[in-house]
Amino acid sequence: MAKRSALKARKHETRESRADSWEESKREAKPSAVRESRAAKGQSRATSLDRLIHERLRLGIISALAANESLTFIDLKNLMNTTDGNLSVHARKLEDAGYVAVTKSFDGRMPRTEYKLTAAGRRALEGYLSHMEALLKQMRGR
């Protein structure tokens, strides 16, 4: 019985040490160094895309708001064909980044959430589109 307990304890220690070493290696990795080494080798510039906008639903939200002065939560939900929870999570990320301004009010007894693209959001979208155009030109030039 004592042997079995010692063996289980040793296995548990081994798992913990592997997990600890993985965490340490993850902390030591330098994302900017990886990007710099890829750039130096002439690899893809896609790593410098604005990851916040690049996600499909958030790109859809920002694009819809760029084409309209403002949209309500219901409008965006229908346009993006998504769920309430999914839309609210992604809209919150854009709001936290300062790309979208949110106004909450009531229309009678019904809550009304309205979204507008901020100047920072418009600049971010323009930068993202410029970057994508540059990537397309680079790919077509090969």
pLDDT value of position 49: 80
Asked if the model's pLDDT at residue 32 lies above 70, the reply is no
**Kind of pairing, strands 71-72 and 100-107?**
unpaired
Q: Kindly indicate the confidence band of residue 120, based on its pLDDT and cuts at 50, 70 and 90.
A: very high
Tokens standing for residue 63: 């694009």
In whole angstroms, what is the distance from residue 132 CA to residue 20 CA?
A: 39
pLDDT value of position 33: 44
Architecture of domain 50-140: Orthogonal Bundle (1.10)
Q: Kindly indicate the confidence band of residue 13, based on its pLDDT and cuts at 50, 70 and 90.
A: low
Give residue limits of the domains in the chain.
2-40, 50-140
Q: What are phi and psi of 82, to 5 degrees?
A: -135, 175
Mean per-residue pLDDT for 17-41? Answer: 47
C-alpha distance across the termini of the chain, in Å = 68
